[in-house]
Copies of this chain bind each other. A is one copy, B any other.
């Protein structure tokens, strides 16, 4: 709900409605799949705690990560109309996932226009982030891609209330970072070294600290508007 409040304020009824829609909460360990590509489901998954990602593996085992989900993010809100799922959803750290059945979501779309608007906002964000990732992978050199990804994740973790300053926990291996940017883990390492050498970030024990936000932002050609946080608490995203 923290997240949805970045779009519009919700009544206690909205909140209860969403909470009641959750049929179950399940705990997962690190690196477990919530669902595998080509399985069927009539649930939508919401990350309550932890980190998850949507990804696909091709016939040769090469993996492409499609988005990350942090607390408050739906993993597959857009799949309500189809049972078949075209990609896998996996956890990156031990996580708690809420299950919501398609009926409940349909019911909200049918009868609750305020929450419907919020869901549409989430769909808009999903598309915007995908577009930005496509731009990242399709048109930026590797060092900019990493810088851009780090900018996004800093803002998203802040907007989710996971951090308040310029450090955040990034529980990803360099291989996984590479799989979201279309580069190998070797090259991710090279590029990470470069960002560190330039004094823009540090990254130790899963903690990223952005030392020079302004410079990182420019370096990455980062423009936060695609995250649509115009209505968020200004304090959450101050200095950004």
| Docked-complex contact A82 and B182, CB < 8 angstroms | no
Say yes or no: is A40 at the interface (Cβ < 8 Å to chain B). Answer: no
For chain A, residues 59 to 96, give those with C-beta under 8 angstroms from any C-beta of chain B.
Answer: 59, 62-64, 66, 78-82, 84, 86-87
Please tell me if the beta carbons of A137 and B226 are within 8 angstroms of each other in the complex: no
Q: Which of A116, A120, A131 has the most CB of B within 10 A?
A: A131
Contact residues in B for A79 (Cβ distance below 8 Å): 124
Q: Which of A86, A133, A134, A182 has the most CB of B within 10 A?
A: A134
Tally chain A residues at the interface, Cβ within 8 Å.
43
| Residues of chain A from 105 to 141 with CB closer than 8 A to chain B in the complex | 109-110, 113, 116-117, 120-121, 123-124, 126-128, 130-131, 133-135, 137-140
Q: How far is the CA of A140 from the CA of B221 in the complex (A)?
A: 25
Binding site for B on A (CB under 8 A): 56, 58-59, 62-64, 66, 78-82, 84, 86-87, 109-110, 113, 116-117, 120-121, 123-124, 126-128, 130-131, 133-135, 137-140, 180-182, 221, 225-226, 228
CA distance A121 to B106 in the complex (A): 13
Q: How many angstroms between the C-alpha atoms of A82 and B127 in the bound complex?
A: 13
Do residues B81 and A124 form an inter-chain contact, with CB atoms below 8 A?
yes
Measured between beta carbons, the chain B residues less than 8 angstroms from A63 are 139
Contact of A126 among B66, B116, B127 (CB under 8 A): B127
Starting from the known contacts A86-B128, A109-B120, A139-B182, 14 additional A-B residue pairs (CB-CB under 8 Å) come to: A62-B139, A64-B134, A79-B124, A80-B120, A81-B120, A82-B124, A82-B228, A86-B226, A109-B116, A123-B127, A130-B134, A133-B134, A134-B137, A137-B137
**7 tightest CB-CB pairs across the interface, nearest first?**
A138-B182, A130-B130, A64-B139, A137-B138, A64-B135, A64-B138, A137-B137
